[in-house]
Amino acid sequence: MNPQKQVIIGTAGHIDHGKTTLVYRMTGTDADRWEEEKRRGITIDIGFAHLEREGLALSFIDVPGHKDFVTNMLAGVHSVDMGLLVVAADESVMPQTEEHFNILKLLGVSLIIPVITKIDLADTEMVAFTELEIRELFQKNGLNEPDAIFHVSGTTGEGMDSLTHFLFQLGKTIHNENDHQPAHLHVDRSFTIKGHGTVITGTLMSGSLKTGDKITVYPSGKTSVIKKLNNHGHDISEIHARKRVALNVPQFQKNELIRGMVAIAEPLYIATRFADARIRIISGGVDMEDLTRIRVSMGSEDVVARIKLVEAPSEKIPCDVLCQLRFEREVACFMGERFIVRSYSPVHTIGGGIILDSRPGKRRGFHPASTGLKLKDSEDDRSRLMGILTESGKVDSENARARLFLTRQVFETVVQSLTSEKHLVKFEKDSQLYHPDQVKEIEDEILSRVEEFHRENPRKDGYPAGILRHYPESIVRAMVKQGQLVQKGSVIRLPSFSRTYSPDEQAAYQKLLSLLKAAGMTPPLLSALKREFEDGALLTDLLQRGISEGCFVRISSDYFLDTDEYEKFLEHFRDWAAGLGSFGIQEAKAEFGLVRKYLIPLLEHLDGEKITAKMDDKRKLL
């Protein structure tokens, strides 16, 4: 059976306050998996159990309460829809009660249901006192008092039916669908099954998976095909978001998969050593110093990092600040992911935060928070993307999608929305996304360079297009399409540009035109022309002008013909060659009366123009 809907419930509370017994009484499953847990009577690692009723499954993640195992607790609660705050009536609120409560609150868990256990071990007065302390805990942390506080006994079963009924009724009202992120899960366990290979478990946070799908695990970036899927002991072919799942991934070795990794249904690169974040520090001393060493619990990951403060070298505690996390090893994370901050030593919870960007540039020094960073400090994907663009000017689409961690469809909707409002520029056949200011800056630079070239080279047709190749081709193409530039062949010019010649330069051009026309098929070659025109640069410009205006034809690097003379020759040549199967140089020489220094380049030019084809020492008309 694979129920349509599953709600994830995490237990929280001090050691030996009855969390595991509570889960066992409701589900019949002993969440203490390890022999050591049963021997010592405490939960060391997270355990799992579930209860199904009328198409709804309550999946319980039982977490350890001992202060030495809070890291394991954090690995379990990242995915919960609601938390059960378990408080024993015979001890009331204890240190880990408060720490676990703060963790749930800092992770954004809004549904926290208080459960007073062991009521059979306390009198009415003690139970009332415990309830009062729970209400004070909520008030002290700025939350409304709970609507209901349940009283139960794991020994006698008193109150269990009422709690279970309430959880099912509440579960029906929870909408935990997630259709904007790619299918992914945080790996909280990995193990091997003989004959099947490696298995990983976690809560599928979004999307769906089916057997045969590929998953990529980060930060390693390795990939495997899913051979089998299992949900609470049931083999299934497909699973949807917000359900516990075990994936059989035999292409991995067990030591390649550890708690803290993120498995994604598509290769979106989310591995990083730096992440922009907003953190809220609620305890830990008087000041938070720049580069303070901390522990970050994020998803099922637990990693040491340093807090790089953005605006000042220290902040008064309590504080809510923008910062950059510098992880001591590569981790997988993405925008919008919540995390817990714990002191490095001695270890205790001091705050929490949210990832604002998983692939920012490395921040140095202290400066007022940039506009881009402020834009990323948002729950709106449009603002987040504009924050990236404001800081970097442009970004590759897949890079941006990985950082925002969105499905392709949702990401494209965001891009289209921003494009239509002209907040973002995306060119056809270009994977880059541009901030309009970046496009304007590039356009202005190109226009400035072309204008300067025109000013320094007034006789040239325009700026050689090849020199612009280090600018985005899509921007140059768009400028031509929009009429900001005019491209003709291999040169680019401003629409307003026209070549200008002095009277002396114009006279020299007329002299060249007359000289080539008068010489017919045997004009002076370039070396002779250079002696005729003392300014070699001017001669080159004049020859290029004659070609662009259709007055000259370039036969070879030093042989230029008057266009009319060339057309008359071509007509004569076609008529003559059409009556021959093939011809050789001597036959052409006799027909046209040209010496080899003119004839050979002319025939090679005809070959290049596909008018003739050379076969050994002969040619034929095509």
Q: Which is more confidently placed, 385 or 27?
A: 385
Within this chain, do residues 16 and 107 fall inside the same structural domain, yes or no? yes
CATH code, 88: 3.40.50.300
Query: Taking the alpha carbons of 585, 586, 591, 596 in that order, is the dihedral positive or negative?
Result: positive
Q: Which residues lie across from 83 on neighbouring strands?
A: 10, 112
Q: Which residue has the tokens 């817990």?
A: 340
Q: Helix crossing, 19-27 with 160-173: angle to 10°?
A: 80
Mean pLDDT in the chain? Answer: 88
Taking the CA atoms of 219, 224, 225 and 230 in sequence, report the sign of the dihedral they define: negative
* Contact present, 46 and 64 (Cβ < 8 Å): yes
Q: Which one has a higher pLDDT value, 71 or 159?
A: 159
CATH number (domain holding residue 205): 2.40.30.10
What is the per-residue pLDDT across 45-100, written as a single tens digit (0 to 9) for each?
Answer: 356 677 888 788 888 877 654 344 345 545 545 678 889 999 999 999 998 898 88
What distance in Å separates the CA atoms of residue 613 and residue 602, rounded to the nearest whole number? Answer: 13
DSSP H or E stretch at residue 26: helix 19-27
Structure tokens at 440: 């304007």
Nearest Cα neighbor of 159 from 195, 114, 102, 203 is: 114
In the chain, the N- to C-terminal Cα span, in Å, equals 76
Q: Is residue 123 domain-shared with residue 202, that is, in the same domain?
A: no
Q: Which pLDDT band, with edges at 50, 70 and 90, does 473 fall under?
A: very high
The answer to whether residue 308 sits within a structural domain is no
Same domain, 536 and 585: yes
Same domain, 167 and 194: no
Q: Does residue 483 have a pLDDT over 90?
A: yes
Residue 231 — pLDDT band, cuts 50, 70, 90?
confident
Total of domains in the chain: 4
This prediction has a pTM of 0.78
> Can you give the pLDDT at residue 471?
93
| Residue pair 530/539 in contact by the 8 Å Cβ criterion | yes
Residue 391 covered by a domain: no
Cβ neighbours, 10 Å, residue 477: 16
In tens, the pLDDT along 492-549 reads 999 998 877 778 878 888 999 999 999 999 999 999 999 888 888 888 888 988 887 8
Stretch 576-587: mean pLDDT? 90
Mean pLDDT of 433-456: 95
Place of tokens 């209901």: 148
Report how far residue 140's alpha carbon sits from residue 123's, in angstroms, rounded to the nearest whole number: 26
Could you say which DSSP state residue 313 is in?
Answer: S
Dihedrals phi, psi of 405, to nearest 5 degrees: 55, 60
Could you say which DSSP state residue 583 is in?
Answer: B
Residue 44 pLDDT grade (very low, low, confident, very high; cuts 50, 70, 90): very low
Evaluate whether residue 559 is within a structural domain: yes
Residue 161 included in any domain: yes
Instruction: Determine which of 88-92, 178-182, 450-454, 522-526 has the lowest per-residue pLDDT on average.
Output: 178-182
Domain boundary among 233, 264, 295: 264
Asked if the model's pLDDT at residue 237 lies above 70, the reply is yes
Interatomic CA distance for residues 332 and 262, integer angstroms: 6
DSSP per residue over 136-198, as a string?
HHHHHTT-PPPS--EE--TTT-TTHHHHHHHHHHHHHH------SSPSEEE--EEEEETTTEE
**Pair (30, 126) in one structural domain:** yes
Which of 208, 242, 264 delimits the end of a domain? Answer: 264
Decide if pLDDT at 221 tops 90. yes
pLDDT at 77: 58
Domain membership flag for residue 27? yes
In the chain, pLDDT over 70 holds for what percent of residues? Answer: 94
**CB count, 10 Å around CB of 12?**
29
Q: How confident is the model at residue 14 (pLDDT cuts 50, 70, 90)?
A: confident
State mean pLDDT over 32-38: 39
pLDDT value for 34: 39
For 498-558, give the secondary structure using H, E and C: CCCCCHHHHHHHHHHHHHHHHHCCCCCCHHHHHHHCCCHHHHHHHHHHHHHCCCEEEEECC
3-class state of residue 568 by DSSP: helix
pLDDT at position 556:
93
**Can you give the pLDDT at residue 43?**
32
Q: Which helix (H) or strand (E) holds 590?
A: helix 585-592
> Same structural domain for residues 114 and 60?
yes
One domain, residues 162 and 31:
yes
DSSP states of 429-476 as a string? T--EEE-HHHHHHHHHHHHHHHHHHHHH-TTSSSEEGGGGGGS-HHHH
Q: What pLDDT is stored for residue 63 in this prediction?
A: 63
The mean-pLDDT minimum among 12-16, 220-224, 246-250 falls in 12-16
Domain presence at residue 309:
no
249-298 tens-digit pLDDT = 999 988 899 989 999 999 999 999 999 999 999 888 889 999 999 999 88
Candidates 386, 21, 361, 33; CA nearest to 188 is 33
Pairwise CA distance, residues 282 & 289, whole Å: 14
Q: Is residue 211 part of a domain?
A: yes
Per-residue pLDDT at 398: 96
| 1 Cβ contact list (under 8 Å, min separation 6) | 52, 234
Q: Choose the most confident range, by mean pLDDT, from 23-27, 242-246, 327-331, 499-503.
A: 327-331
* 164, 206: one domain: no
What pLDDT does 181 receive? 93
What is the residue range of 574's domain?
Answer: 512-621
Only one residue has tokens 């008030």, namely: 139
- Does some domain include residue 52? yes
Q: Tell me, yes or no, whether 105 and 41 share the same domain.
A: yes
Rounded CA gap, 405 and 385, in Å? 11
Q: Give the integer Cα–Cα distance in Å for 273 and 195.
A: 37
CATH number at residue 569: 1.10.10.10
Please report the pLDDT score of residue 73 as a whole number.
Answer: 46
Tens digit of each residue's pLDDT (9 = 90 or more) over 127-150: 999 999 999 999 988 788 888 999
User: Do residues 145 and 188 share a domain?
Assistant: no
Q: Which of 249, 264, 279 is the last residue of a domain?
A: 264
Same domain assignment for residues 583 and 466: no
Both 164 and 106 in one domain: the answer is yes
